[in-house]
Structure 1
């Protein structure tokens, strides 16, 4: 996939520059040690114009991720939102995926960064995992323990874990992987949160065991609006295999249903599941096709 061309602009340290002309410091900790933080946002073309979904929540989480790893964050969030809208306009993008990245300056020591830089890029990108129901497997790769790493932060180096799990699944002929936590419970997918449906109730792993996805919280908010019960509990592999249906949630993937896990096909037709109803509601929400909430 081509993410940019000679006409593409990015936002870098306060200026709009051509992506082809932006340099990278080869002595930065972000390159050598994965010492950086990033976010993923989506902009949607609505009848009100281009809207970034939950921009404030995403940039607030970016700042929180930087704080979690002692990476300086010196930017005003509202200004970053405004610059992001400018970036979309400069690149003639109505619907896009947006990637802010905070990375460190030159430093080969294993010490906290004294300074940091910020880049924002955007490109057209459909749902990360496509539109079809997923074939998923449990992974031999374990989700990092919160005792060894700030797993609530969206930190660059942490995603090596996700790359390994995702590649393992693909090499086995699956679309995505489910990772267990250090206690042997199903936590989440490589970069998405998991929900399972059983007897008209949704279940998901406790917030302290998973990445606190903004889309995950949006699903819970939608369920409250629709009167659907959501229970946070430790999920065993048996719970997942015995569910009526299941789906993943994430900004890049949006809401996408699961067809099977480890070869076990779910009994419910996807179109008649709670997940499918939430998928439709979510799409109307991000496209502002109903008065659900104000999108900034």
Structure 2
């Protein structure tokens, strides 16, 4: 699904065949989930393949590493250039890109001495599909912000997401919705939450959620479109009275939510603010956003 015998990945400054690459089984990342990653999308545009908000994603990768004391010796622009070259080598135009910073062998609970960077890419449609989602409130909550670095996109944090999504699917739903440790709305396992009530858009404030790059983009688009947006702490009861809702994320893009725990939202998705933002986002990401500074420009 993700690679074949011809697939090339970027690993520590070299382009190598995916099926020939290897890593150490004693890596801290393998044993403890001590690593950071990003999810990035590249789109086919009139000017060729363009990576959407590449700089913001790689800067967040760097910030994630620094927040949890993982050395990050890479230049953001070098990684952007390498990603464009990787896409070219794999003949990919529309693709999902996964950079991963992983640690060297270390069985102690201390910061690593050395790390590696890997970048891979593959063709991937909308992560959550293209139909409105049936969502359930999860029995799992997001970790307390004092227990982790909530702003960091850390490998090990996603065990929480896997548990929530698996639970939801086992119950017959498409996806989960997690609350924070105080019972307020937080986010999906891999996407941020927005909902609409009486023509106003609402979204959980930062502090207990990952500050999504797509979330920030949706907020920018909402402002451009003249939409009123309120950020705050909201209970599940407030969501139950909403007119519509949607998730957004790099992998999910913008996807409508049909219902939460079988309670259907009354507003037709095509008449919602979410639909307008979905269309605006789709147009935006397919504009050229190249940020190359090398021969690949």
What corresponds to 1:138 in structure 2?
A: 137
What corresponds to 1:59 in structure 2?
A: 58
CA drift at 1:194? 0.1
What corresponds to 1:192 in structure 2?
A: 191
- TM-score normalised by length of structure 1: 0.97
1:116 aligns to 2:81 (yes or no): no
Q: Return 5+ residue gaps in structure 1 as ranges.
A: none
What corresponds to 2:214 in structure 1?
A: 215
How far apart are the structure 2 equivalents of 1:183 and 1:171? 25
How far apart are the structure 1 equivalents of 2:79 and 2:27? 23
What corresponds to 2:294 in structure 1?
A: none
Deviations 1:221-263 (A, max 9, x none): 0011011011001111111111000000000000000000011
Off by >6 Å, runs of 4+ in structure 1: none
Deviations 1:16-74 (A, max 9, x none): 00000001100010000000000000000011100000000000000000001100100
What corresponds to 2:9 in structure 1?
A: 10
What corresponds to 1:268 in structure 2?
A: 267
1:171 aligns to 2:164 (yes or no): no
How far apart are the structure 1 equivalents of 2:290 and 2:114? 32
Contact kept? 2:142, 2:208, Cα under 8 Å:
no
How far apart are the structure 1 equivalents of 2:192 and 2:94? 23
How far apart are the structure 2 equivalents of 1:259 and 1:227? 24
CA drift at 1:209? 1.9
How far apart are the structure 1 equivalents of 2:129 and 2:268? 19
How far apart are the structure 2 equivalents of 1:170 and 1:119? 30
Could you say what secondary structure the match of 1:159 adopts? helix
Could you say what secondary structure the match of 1:4 adopts? coil
How far apart are the structure 2 equivalents of 1:37 and 1:113? 13
What corresponds to 2:21 in structure 1?
A: 22
How far apart are the structure 2 equivalents of 1:258 and 1:295? 32
Counterparts of 1:249-268 in structure 2, within 5 Å, are: 249-268=248-267
How far apart are the structure 2 equivalents of 1:65 and 1:240? 30
CA RMSD of aligned residues (A): 0.8
Deviations 1:197-229 (A, max 9, x none): 001110000111211000000000001101101
Could you say what secondary structure the match of 1:141 adopts? strand
Could you say what secondary structure the match of 1:6 adopts? coil
Could you say what secondary structure the match of 2:207 adopts? helix
Could you say what secondary structure the match of 1:284 adopts? helix
How far apart are the structure 1 equivalents of 2:236 and 2:70? 37
Deviations 1:148-187 (A, max 9, x none): 0001100000000000000000000001111110111010
1:225 aligns to 2:232 (yes or no): no
Could you say what secondary structure the match of 1:158 adopts? helix
Matched length: 291
How far apart are the structure 2 equivalents of 1:73 and 1:255? 31
Could you say what secondary structure the match of 1:83 adopts? helix
What corresponds to 1:77 in structure 2?
A: 76
How far apart are the structure 2 equivalents of 1:270 and 1:152? 31
CA drift at 1:295? 5.3
Q: Return 5+ residue gaps in structure 2 as ranges.
A: 292-297
CA drift at 1:83? 0.5
1:204 aligns to 2:203 (yes or no): yes
How far apart are the structure 2 equivalents of 1:71 and 1:267? 47
What corresponds to 1:37 in structure 2?
A: 36
